[in-house]
Amino acid sequence: MTKKILVACGAGIATSTVVANRVENLIKDNHVDAEIEQCKITEVKSKQSGADLIVSTTILPTKYDIPAVIATAYISGVGMDKLDAKILSYLN
Amino acid sequence: MSIQQFINKELIFTKLNFNSQRELFHYLYDKAKQGGFVTDDFLSRLTEREKIFPTGLKLGKNNVAIPHTDAECVTKEFIAIATLNTPVLFRLMDNNAEQADVSLVFMLGLNNPHNQLEVLQELVGMIQDGAKVNQLVQSSSREEMYQALNGAALRK
């Protein structure tokens, strides 16, 4: 079944655009059947049902029912490989 | 589309001195407002957003911040760049309980970012390039910074 990933940032503008692209390449390269939706972190709460994973570039303002990963590494460049592995571990 | 199109010489500032993030934001807002880049509420919304979703990135040697806010506050798209003589404290993007001394600031004024993947990737690539960040931080004039941003000085 196709998994659904929510890629979120504070304003839903700048950083999630970069991260969504990175995650898209990651799932393509690893042949993961998943789709991505980009949104504001404040929208995640209402969108989480039906999704499998939250990838956020910003701090998480609340607790969610599905796993959430903070992906600032894709912006800073520090620890990107580890983050790749972590995201994949939730999708396999 | 490339980052150069978003960089205006009038929004490049080197070796600024501020006592706080508030002063820095005020200064950059004033300049952006004068140039007709932002609406009146840009400053208050930028400040508010930074409080809830901070934008500091701890990179090691030179820490960077990328403050930005909602698209509707931006009337003309821009990326303002400032280096700080005395670093200013920013809370971290992934942990607002922690702070970092930031010496390079990219203030992003984007209102259609989904179409600007390349620009944002270029920016992120720059942030991840320690030598480049160092070169920007060391720039002592607007002209030097502009050259560095255009990559000329790196192509030896």
- The C-alpha of A22 sits at a distance from chain B's nearest C-alpha, in angstroms, of 10
Contacts of B125 (CB under 8 A, 6+ apart): none
The answer to whether A23 and A36 have CB atoms below 8 angstroms apart is yes
Residues in chain A: 92
pLDDT tens digits along B57-95: 999 889 999 999 888 999 999 999 999 999 999 999 999
Which residue in A has a C-alpha nearest to residue B112's C-alpha? A13
Alpha carbons A33 and A56: distance in angstroms, whole number: 20
Residue B73 CA to residue B68 CA, distance in Å, equals: 10
What kind and span of H or E run contains B33? helix B21-34
The model's pLDDT over A36-76, given as tens digits with 9 standing for 90+, comes to 999 888 899 999 999 999 999 988 889 999 999 999 999 99
- Decide if A39 is catalytic: no
**Locus of tokens 């950059």:** B28
Indicate whether B36 pLDDT > 80: yes
Give the number of domains in chain A: 1
Does B71 contact A38 at a Cβ distance shorter than 8 Å? no
Can you give the residue range of the structural domain that contains A52?
3-91
Q: Two tokens at B150?
A: 């255009």
What is the C-alpha separation between B67 and B47, in angstroms, rounded?
9
B54 and A38 within 8 Å at the Cβ level: the answer is no
Mean local confidence (pLDDT), B22-46: 97
Catalytic residue among A9, A27, A54, A68: A9
**Would you state the structure tokens that stand for residue B35, as one six-digit string?**
């140039």
pLDDT over threshold 60, residue B1: yes
Is B82 within 8 Å of B24 (Cβ atoms)?
Answer: yes
**Distinct helix (H) and strand (E) counts, chain B:** 5, 5
Q: Which residues partner with B84 through β-bridges? A: B16
CATH assignment of the domain containing A72: 3.40.50.2300
B116 and A CB contact within 8 Å: yes
Q: How confident is the model at residue B113 (pLDDT cuts 50, 70, 90)?
A: low
Going by pLDDT thresholds of 50, 70 and 90, the confidence category of residue B48 is very high
Which domains occur in chain B, in start order?
A: 3-148 (3.40.930.10)
ipTM: 0.86
Report phi then psi at B12, rounded to 5: -110, 130
Least Cα distance to A19 among B88, B121, B153, B104 occurs for B121
